[in-house]
Amino acid sequence: MMMHCLLRWLAGGSYLDLKISTGISQAAFYHYINKCMDAILASTDLAYKFPETEQELNKAAQGFTTMSSHGAIKGCVACLDGYLLQIKVPAKAETGNVKAYFSGHYQTYGINVQAACDHQCRFVYAALASPGGANDIAAYRKTRFNEMVQNLPIRSLLLGTMLLCALRLY
C-alpha cells in the first residue's frame, strides 16, 4: 500500500486519487510517502556511486565497451549531461541575480542540473549545478564532479564539450 501511494504520487497523483480505492486518510497518505522516501534515501544500495578505484574504473569502462557496437567505445566510464529544471521566477530577496536563472535557449527560468550515468543508465552523480542561464560546460566546472574527474587515478581523460559528454579512460 505504501509503495503504491508513493508511485502514484510520484506519477503526479494526489491523495484524492487513492482515497476512494484505498480508504486511507490524507494524513496516512502523506505519512506513507514520507516513510517510503526516507527508506529510499537511506538505502546505500540505491546511493550514487561514481567509480573511484582503478578496478572500478576498468569495470565501468568494460561495461561501455561491451554495450557499444564492435567495442567502439573504449575507456568511457560515465556519460554526463545537463538538464534545465524549470522553476518559478525566484524573488529578488531569494537571489541577488534573478536574470541568471533565465535560460535564453529554453525561454524559461530554471536551474542547471548536471548528472552522470553508467553503461546501465544508473545515475552515478547528480548536482544542482548553477542558475539556468549557465551553459552545460560552465555549470560542470562549478560542480564537485569536475574536481572528482581531475583527481581520477587514470592516465588520460577526455571530457567532451557537447551536450552529452563521455568520460573516456585511455
Mean pLDDT, residues 45-63: 86
Strands (E), 9-96: 76-86
Task: Tell me, yes or no, whether 16 and 69 share the same domain.
Answer: no
Give the whole-angstrom CA distance, residue 19 versus residue 9: 12
* Residue 101 belongs to some domain of the structure: yes
pTM of the predicted model, to two decimals? 0.69
Confidence of residue 22 (pLDDT cuts 50, 70, 90): confident
Task: Tell me, yes or no, whether 61 and 38 share the same domain.
Answer: no
Query: CB-based contacts of 32: which residues, under 8 Å, 6+ apart?
Result: 1, 2, 5, 6, 24
Provide the residue range defining the domain that includes 142: 54-169
Choose between 123 and 155: higher pLDDT. 123
Domain count for the chain: 2
Kindly state the cell numbers that stand for 158: 577526455
Task: Tell me, yes or no, whether 61 and 33 share the same domain.
Answer: no
Task: Tell me, yes or no, whether 92 and 152 share the same domain.
Answer: yes
Instruction: Say yes or no to pLDDT of 166 above 80.
Output: no
* Residue 76 belongs to some domain of the structure: yes
